[in-house]
Structure 1
């Protein structure tokens, strides 16, 4: 644990080469009426919404276009299972295969198999409180 804490505070040149999480990929939550909620956020807060929610575009430190997704889901979605929570986090990661190997060796619960799409690779884990976490190695260029 001390080594992990030290890694956070070491100067950049002394940190490990492997970066696990690079940012928030998305925030997903259950809603009683997700379509009505999409309209409310669009009308009241100005979010540009579609059937998936709202995508926020930003640039990383190298100037690459990146996105973060905000999405309400139907209250009865099974996508968050086995978690019974009302939300699921999605983290952007650099090297999903390497990270999954590390997490497996550290005893983290990995759910199912990694899935690959033209916009990135996905895998799912559980934290110690049973929260499902989606890990996403994005291919941001697929959105451009």
Structure 2
């Protein structure tokens, strides 16, 4: 089973997300929105299949990255999230929460070997 298919997002803590977002927009030309910035791209293996990677600054006080104490979280795009979660559970990986579904895909959080919280996302095509 193919597991990670790409990076779905980079999330990090900062003192002033609005200021950081504006800085990246002004100085690096990011096309920002209320969530940060979204980068659209096309799959290398199927150039007709569009994908996205999200870049989002969070307030430094956010609890969203817990139980990890790190200032970042990476979102990985995956195929077949349910099967992957079952496989990870059988391998002893810590599953932080249950799979949640939204209009744009399914999500779950896990912890890596050092306790970093990772978000897994099965996008809805």
TM tier relative to shorter chain: over 0.9
> What is the aligned partner in structure 2 of residue 41 from structure 1?
24
How many Å separate the matches in 2 of 1:55 and 1:126? Answer: 25
Q: How do residues 1-144 of structure 1 correspond to structure 2 at under 5 angstroms?
A: 18-60=1-43, 61-62=45-46, 63-140=48-125
Instruction: Note the aligned Cα RMSD (angstroms).
Output: 0.7
How many Å separate the matches in 1 of 2:6 and 2:111? Answer: 18
How many Å separate the matches in 1 of 2:109 and 2:38? Answer: 21
Secondary structure of the residue that 1:97 maps to in structure 2?
helix
Structure 1 stretches of 4+ with a deviation exceeding 2 A read: none
How many Å separate the matches in 2 of 1:59 and 1:44? Answer: 26
**Aligned residue-pair number:** 123
Secondary structure of the residue that 1:112 maps to in structure 2?
coil
Structure 1's unaligned 5+ residue stretches are 1-17
How many Å separate the matches in 1 of 2:31 and 2:23? Answer: 11
Structure 2's unaligned 5+ residue stretches are none
How many Å separate the matches in 2 of 1:51 and 1:130? Answer: 29
Secondary structure of the residue that 1:109 maps to in structure 2?
coil
Secondary structure of the residue that 1:22 maps to in structure 2?
strand
Higher RCO (C-alpha under 8 Å, 6+ residues apart): 2
